[in-house]
A and B are shown apart, each in its own frame.
Chain A
């Protein structure tokens, strides 16, 4: 007789990712984790804590500080039949591996006429909000979403933190998983009975009929907070978590906008030449006549993210800015 289910203990996001890595290592001997301080140190965000002891140094592989070489080695290992999970400490340092990611991982399948594929997963911490100043506060996932050949996904909930990795490893293509550094401490419970998630679809995190807040990552929680406030004012906002930035789930975006007729995009990336611009353009291209007001955006201000707390807060999307933009969007003067 199966044991009665234990009462679910609260689980932190970092533990959910750790469980995902553990499960992947157990399920497939080709899987290994590689990156700076993933082993002895336990991971710079403690995601891989304890895994070295459990799986040994061949499969929990500490690398020197050489982002280009170990990301490239991940590509080579994937070509050679392994299933590497490469952890880049943060997206900021991935800039030292851009050559490997953009010139190799993204191109080899197409450029070889389909002979090669690169089943590589890269995990990176992203985002601002910890007063780490400009060089440690980038949100460049939208940049990477520009690149054909890459798949870009953002686990923003515990369920996605727990199960997106398996979906990424099952993909024959390179997948970058962006984990917002603010989420690692988030605690909650997994959805009972859930065993897998996909890597293709956006998800409605809160239904509503008056406007759509389109977002992902840490901004998801700012949007949910704003939606609560709006609800008390009698405005029901739908909150759409993009989950995957490349490919974008156009169908889900358009379906929601066609219901609510108003869209506000909230993105921790900058506004110019950005993911939010892309989402906005797609709505304009495909649902222009369904809109009751121009698409609006709340993004990070166009400055390197500053250190001082008040300045950083002013630079990043906040529930207040989201609320203000939402109210403007709903005001009678906003419609055409």
Chain B
């Protein structure tokens, strides 16, 4: 694994990263409650524990880069800059949502941010990322496509087909595997003959590294370095972000497959605690700073909930719009 990056951590940068992680954490915790209240329905997959991956990765990328994500993508969408109001409204199914309420939690889109969606088919986004990168390589060199997926996707054929194609054609894809050790209830070692995902990537001659996904600075540094190589036409790269999800897989998961003690142990090395401790130890942040960031995040979330609550539903008369772009 990459060594944690202690270099040139400024107060400003540290607070920015922490603030982003707190935004996601507060958002997700609020979603959990809203689900209980029946405001959010459908499948809801929360990102608690994995915030450092979205924040570190997306902070290291550029606005011109394309992003492809999964159904566990609230964090990616928020850090990418889709407004929290629009994301929350989407979860409510409102007209003002970032997909007009047609996608819900698993399908957040924003074409203007080059955010090509949460995909609810495990590994379904990887081939699309390959194609986006093909378009970039041919028409817009220097851009790349970052593709998030879980450890479960590694078992799918689409993962292997996509890695091979991206490597064969030297495409600017950054594969970002969020290895949280479980695909629903199936632990990685119960699913993979080779649990080191970087080894699988190297079999396709793809540069790969494992990263401490609980350390936002390590993620940011690794993604920045990989992106720089990719922009120079070095071909694709894969980073295995070793992380953990603190909450259930979805809202319908009694978590029979893992111990409470295991979850507690991971919580102690969670990304927010880790960065908070580091910033305080280095004297870059006070407890008041932390409280303020948390208050700000909470205020944003409450504003987003108010926006979603007060937003209208799309008229049913528009149901059939956008099935075809040619007849919208």
Contacts and interface: CB of A to CB of B under 8 A. Distances in A.
Given A103-B121, A115-B109, A72 B162 contact: yes
Contacts of A193: none
Interface stretch (B133-141, B178-186, B235-243, B300-308): B133-141
B109 A81 contact: no
A232 to B, nearest CB: 44
B124 A99 contact: yes
Contacts of A79: 116, 128, 131-132, 135
Contacts of B162: 69, 72
Contacts of B126: 69, 72
Contacts of A188: none
Interface stretch (B211-219, B224-232, B259-267, B319-327): B319-327
A74 interface: yes
A76 interface: yes
B29 interface: no
A116 interface: yes
B124 A103 contact: yes
Contacts of A80: 66, 131-136, 139
Given A64-B165, A72-B128, A112 B99 contact: yes
B326 A110 contact: no
Contacts of B321: 110, 114
A80 B128 CA distance: 10
Contacts of A68: 127, 157-158, 161
B175 to A, nearest CB: 13
Nearest to B101: A113
A57 to B, nearest CB: 10
A75 interface: yes
A16 interface: no
B131 A73 contact: yes
B102 A111 contact: yes
Interface size class of A (residues with CB under 8 A): 35 or more
A185 interface: no
Contacts of B112: 115
B202 to A, nearest CB: 18
Interface string A163-188: 00000000111000000000000000
A41 B142 CA distance: 32
A71 interface: yes
A60 B129 CA distance: 20
B99 A58 contact: no
Contacts of A100: 124, 127-128
Contact of A76 (B107, B135, B157, B322): B135
B205 interface: no
A134 B324 CA distance: 34
A75 B127 CA distance: 8
A108 B68 CA distance: 13
B168 interface: yes
A115 B164 contact: no
B117 interface: yes
A111 B107 contact: yes
A103 B103 CA distance: 13
Nearest to B97: A113
A96 to B, nearest CB: 8
Nearest to B165: A69
B130 A69 contact: yes
25 contacts: A64-B161, A69-B162, A69-B164, A71-B127, A72-B162, A76-B128, A76-B129, A76-B130, A76-B133, A79-B116, A82-B139, A103-B121, A103-B124, A109-B323, A110-B322, A111-B99, A112-B117, A113-B99, A113-B322, A114-B328, A115-B99, A115-B112, A116-B111, A119-B325, A151-B324
Interface of B: 66, 68, 97-103, 107, 109-112, 116-117, 119, 121, 124, 126-136, 138-139, 145, 157-158, 161-162, 164-165, 168, 321-326, 328
Closest 5 CB pairs of A and B: A72-B127, A76-B131, A80-B135, A113-B100, A117-B325
Given A70-B165, A82-B138, 12 more contacts: A69-B162, A72-B127, A73-B165, A80-B133, A100-B127, A109-B323, A110-B321, A110-B322, A112-B99, A114-B100, A114-B325, A115-B112
